[in-house]
Amino acid sequence: MKIKVLFFAKARSLTGCSAHEFEVADGSCLHDLTTSIYTVFPELLSIGSTLLWAVNGKYSGQDQILSDLSEVACFPPVSGG
Protein backbone atom coordinates (compact mmCIF):
# COMPACT_ATOMS: atom_id res chain seq x y z
CA MET A 1 0.00 0.00 0.00
CA LYS A 2 1.04 3.61 -0.53
CA ILE A 3 1.38 5.91 2.48
CA LYS A 4 1.67 9.67 2.24
CA VAL A 5 4.20 11.16 4.64
CA LEU A 6 4.37 14.87 5.48
CA PHE A 7 7.63 16.50 6.62
CA PHE A 8 7.70 19.69 8.67
CA ALA A 9 10.27 22.24 9.81
CA LYS A 10 13.82 20.86 9.96
CA ALA A 11 12.60 17.47 8.73
CA ARG A 12 11.31 19.24 5.63
CA SER A 13 14.57 21.16 5.24
CA LEU A 14 16.62 17.95 5.50
CA THR A 15 14.49 15.89 3.09
CA GLY A 16 13.93 18.81 0.76
CA CYS A 17 10.28 17.93 0.35
CA SER A 18 7.09 18.58 2.30
CA ALA A 19 5.40 15.31 1.31
CA HIS A 20 6.48 11.99 -0.17
CA GLU A 21 4.71 8.69 -0.86
CA PHE A 22 6.20 5.43 0.37
CA GLU A 23 5.29 1.88 -0.61
CA VAL A 24 4.99 -0.51 2.33
CA ALA A 25 3.48 -3.98 2.74
CA ASP A 26 -0.16 -4.25 3.78
CA GLY A 27 -0.45 -4.42 7.57
CA SER A 28 2.80 -2.54 8.13
CA CYS A 29 3.25 -0.57 11.29
CA LEU A 30 4.81 2.87 11.67
CA HIS A 31 8.18 1.28 12.48
CA ASP A 32 8.21 -0.46 9.08
CA LEU A 33 7.44 2.81 7.34
CA THR A 34 10.08 4.65 9.36
CA THR A 35 12.70 2.19 8.11
CA SER A 36 11.72 2.94 4.52
CA ILE A 37 11.82 6.66 5.18
CA TYR A 38 15.35 6.53 6.61
CA THR A 39 16.45 4.47 3.59
CA VAL A 40 15.16 7.09 1.16
CA PHE A 41 16.17 10.07 3.33
CA PRO A 42 19.23 9.04 5.37
CA GLU A 43 19.85 12.72 6.16
CA LEU A 44 16.92 12.42 8.62
CA LEU A 45 18.98 10.05 10.76
CA SER A 46 20.96 13.04 12.10
CA ILE A 47 17.84 14.06 14.07
CA GLY A 48 16.16 10.67 14.10
CA SER A 49 16.21 10.22 17.86
CA THR A 50 14.24 13.43 18.36
CA LEU A 51 11.70 12.99 15.57
CA LEU A 52 8.02 12.83 16.46
CA TRP A 53 5.44 10.94 14.45
CA ALA A 54 1.73 11.44 13.94
CA VAL A 55 -0.77 9.24 12.15
CA ASN A 56 -3.91 10.99 10.93
CA GLY A 57 -3.09 14.02 13.08
CA LYS A 58 -2.48 12.13 16.35
CA TYR A 59 0.87 11.49 18.00
CA SER A 60 1.61 7.80 17.46
CA GLY A 61 4.04 5.15 18.65
CA GLN A 62 6.16 2.99 16.35
CA ASP A 63 3.78 0.03 16.78
CA GLN A 64 0.86 1.93 15.24
CA ILE A 65 -0.66 -0.17 12.42
CA LEU A 66 -1.11 1.74 9.16
CA SER A 67 -3.74 1.50 6.45
CA ASP A 68 -3.83 2.93 2.96
CA LEU A 69 -5.91 5.78 4.41
CA SER A 70 -3.21 6.77 6.89
CA GLU A 71 -1.58 10.19 6.61
CA VAL A 72 1.71 10.13 8.46
CA ALA A 73 3.59 13.21 9.62
CA CYS A 74 7.23 13.40 10.68
CA PHE A 75 8.63 16.40 12.54
CA PRO A 76 11.16 17.52 15.18
CA PRO A 77 10.17 18.78 18.64
CA VAL A 78 7.60 21.57 18.42
CA SER A 79 8.54 25.20 19.12
CA GLY A 80 5.36 27.24 18.78
CA GLY A 81 4.17 29.82 21.26
Partner 1 sequence: MIRLTEDVINFEDVTNSVRDVRAGAVVLFLGTVREITGSDETSHLFYEAYPEMAIRCMHELADEAKQRFPIQAVAIVHRTGTLGPGDVSVAIAVSTPHRAQAFEAGQWLIDSLKERVPIWKQESYKDGRVDWVHPGLDAPAAGKEPS
Restricting to residues 42-81, name those near partner 1 by CB under 8 A.
Answer: 47, 50, 52, 54, 57-59, 73, 75-81
- Contact between 9 and partner 1 (CB under 8 A)? yes
Evaluate whether 22 touches 3 at the Cβ level (below 8 Å). yes
- Written as one string, the DSSP assignment of 39-73 is HH-GGGGGGGGG-EEEETTEE--TT-B--TT-EEE
Per rule CB under 8 A, count of chain residues that contact partner 1: 20
Which residues would be at the binding site for partner 1 (CB under 8 A)?
A: 6, 8-10, 13, 47, 50, 52, 54, 57-59, 73, 75-81
